[in-house]
Structure 1
């Protein structure tokens, strides 16, 4: 018995170019992650009102459909428009990538050919393995951002200690009677110096400061340098690297698991390969002729 069908594409021969562009734009909007799960378009609202107008009062229908009390079929759909121009741009990665690609092309034509260099990123996105490397950075993005924030807090604490007790070690005397280079004369410059130089230094902030040997603060300064190296360089930076490496390994395992499942069972009927190998036609004939994956796209 025929129950109906899903309309996946329109007949674009009778529609204009603008209608076709709006149709593709609507598909991008509705498929975006931030689009509401329950959304009533004007056609559905009209049909719903016609069907339940004798059973449900107008105020209840308006509340269920999420409309304003004075809104009608010809009213401006502000919710859809907001998700169209804000939600899609902020959540759809492919849309952002294409917009950036277009902007680089325009800048290359009208400003400088220098901007054409950014088009080489498309080469990276053309290879699945290189895309997996990029995804390993974004896979644990929340944990990575929190770790960076924790690093900023720890570096700031060390900045406070250095500013109050070890400021004299941050002054480098210049030659020819010039003004000495003061890298910690206020909290802002001291924090920037710790984060920019101390985090990048292989041995921590102690590698960039004057030696404390013979000074009255020799032992406190040694403990300061060693603790900075231990907590910031060894622990926090290692956590960031571990998040990226673990994400890459997890994505690789998922890809291998999916490939193994496709090779060991039918994707359509989920029957194992060993079952078809006991039959005359075999697993390969079944997946290429009877349940070809391309026929279900």
Structure 2
């Protein structure tokens, strides 16, 4: 048995131990009640901490929360301000805003890399042709402030000041009026504004805004779907509301999704030679990722609808 299977079975047993009989739970999970291994497995413990716990976002967030509390007690009460993040995570809509940043993370990172390349190209042009515009005269005999005396400072200045400026790098430099490089400088400033400020920054903002809209639509669609129809049989809520037991009893008792998960887990752990005809049929469908074994459009309540309404 792999460590992942062992971990999933242990979590399943802890979650449903108060709802399902222990013998039934052991049978579904493919475990023998008498063969419980109480020995300490240090390799499983290392895998659990390094491979599961230390990569779990909820665990890392709670550790950060605890560290902020400790720093607030022993260092400064200003560390308690980080606890306000919990307010954001308590509301699904605010949480979706944070998820919108990471939803298209790969595209966002690639766009930032492209922006770095473009800014570097502009820094190369500035270093070779417009370096004199980056020198600010000092006051009272002080040395002039050179913003582009080498490629490193030139690139950092372009990225820090040029990207933040609303009009691009041209807002941070002296106007080129009357200089011999007046028209090349104007073209340089305008092209930086168009490519970096208008196009690249707009693409980054668009990725975040589109991701937020997509996540919000998915959440609203899923919630509306679960509230208006059964996830298993896809029969509308209005059909069950005409019955004596109603929609809530149907989705919690008759077509409870957890029961289907238990059954699939039971098939995975059961010996194939002991399958019944129905179990063989479902396992073949499951292996082929064919979900036709779900009773879409069918349920016992619908089959006996007339008798239930008359009673």
- TM (norm. structure 1) is 0.69
Tell me the number of residue pairs that the alignment of Structure 1 and Structure 2 aligns.
260
Closer, same or farther: CA 174–278 of 1 in aligned 2, 3 Å: same
The worse-fitting range, judged by mean Cα deviation, of 53-62 and 152-161 is 53-62
CA 1:258–1:205 in 2, change beyond 3 Å: closer, same or farther?
Answer: same
Instruction: Output the CA distance in 2 between the equivalents of 1:47 and 1:242.
Output: 40
Structure 1 CA distance, aligned partners of 2:19 and 2:10? 15
Give CA-to-partner distance per residue, 1:251-271, whole Å, 9 cap, x none: 011011112212321134322
- Using the alignment, how far apart are the partners of 1:276 and 1:52 within structure 2? 28
Deviation of 1:91 (Å): 2.6
Whether the 8 Å CA contact 1:277–1:283 is kept in 2: the answer is yes
CA shift, 1:278, in A, is 6.0
Cα distance in 2 between the residues matched to 1:152 and 1:170:
20
Worse overlay, 100-109 or 287-296: 287-296
1: CA distance, partners of 2:223 / 2:19? 53
In the TM superposition, residue 44 of structure 1 has moved relative to its aligned partner by 13
SS at the partner of 1:91? coil
Cα distance between partner residues in 1 of 2:166 and 2:177 = 20
C-alpha change, 1:248 and 1:65, in structure 2 (3 Å) is closer
Q: Over the residues paired in the alignment, what is the CA RMSD in angstroms?
A: 8.6
Q: Deviations over 1:16-69 (max 9, x none)?
A: xxxxxxxxxxxxxxxxxxxxx954889999999999999999999999999999
Q: C-alpha distance in 2, partners of 1:207/1:98?
A: 44
Q: How far apart are residue 120 of structure 1 and its match?
A: 0.9
Between 50-59 and 40-49, report the one with greater CA deviation: 50-59
Contact 1:40 1:65 in 2 (8 A): no
SS of residue paired to 1:70: helix
Partner of 1:146: 110
Q: 1:267 to 1:229 in 2, by over 3 A?
A: same
Aligned partner of 1:256 among 220, 229, 234: 220
Render the CA deviation track for 1:208-244: whole Å, top value 9, x for unaligned. 1011111111111111111111110011100110010
Instruction: State the distance in 2 between where 1:40 and 1:155 align.
Output: 46
Change (3 A) 1:62 1:77: farther
Using CA pairs under 8 Å that are at least 6 residues apart, name the structure with larger relative contact order, 1 or 2: 2
| C-alpha displacement of 1:194 | 0.5
| Partner-residue secondary structure (3-state), 2:3 | coil
Q: Per-residue deviation at 1:92?
A: 1.1
Unpaired stretches in structure 1, ≥5 consecutive residues: 1-36
Query: What is the CA distance between 1:152 and its match in structure 2?
Result: 0.9
Question: Shift of the alpha carbon at 1:113?
Answer: 1.2
Task: Give 2:140's match in structure 1, choosing from 176, 179, 196.
Answer: 176
* CA spacing shift, 1:66–1:174, aligned 2, 3 Å: farther
Q: CA deviation at 1:70?
A: 28
Give the SS at the match of 1:280.
Answer: coil
Distance change >3 Å, CA 60–CA 108, structure 1 → 2: closer
Q: Does the aligned pair in 2 maintain the 1:42–1:73 contact within 8 Å?
A: no
2:179 is aligned with 1:212: no
**CA 271–225 in structure 1, closer or farther in 2 if over 3 Å, else same:** same
The range that moved more, 245-254 or 106-115, is 106-115
Distance in 1 separating the partners of 2:35 and 2:148: 62
TM-score (norm 2): 0.66
SS where residue 96 of structure 2 aligns? helix
Distance 1:80 1:46, change over 3 A: closer
Contact 1:104-1:116 at 8 Å conserved across structures: yes
Change (3 A) 1:295 1:112: farther
